[in-house]
Amino acid sequence: MNKITNIIVAPFDADSSKKDAADFVCGEKNNEITIGNAIEACVEQNKNLLLLNGIYRIDAFYDFGDSGST
């Protein structure tokens, strides 16, 4: 796992060593919020997003009213 070029996200069911290495750790629900925050950090820091293997719980998708434009 290269933290120099990646923002690392761990799922709630990851082992403790993976959670310790991650920049973001998801809880047992609403993981879309954590993943969204990680994406924002990637944009700000010009890094890639790395989702570690595991279960992610996406409870909803949000419409930010921006038509998906940047």
pLDDT at 16 over 70: yes
* Helix boundaries (H) for the chain: 16-21, 31-45
The 10s digit of each residue's pLDDT in 27-64 is 999 999 999 999 999 999 999 999 999 999 998 877 77
pLDDT at 70 over 60: no
As a whole number of angstroms, the distance between CA 53 and CA 49 comes to: 13
Q: What pTM does this model have?
A: 0.82
Handedness of CA 34, 39, 44, 45 (dihedral sign): positive
Between 42 and 1, the more confident residue is 42
As a whole number of angstroms, the distance between CA 45 and CA 51 comes to: 17
Between 13 and 2, the more confident residue is 13
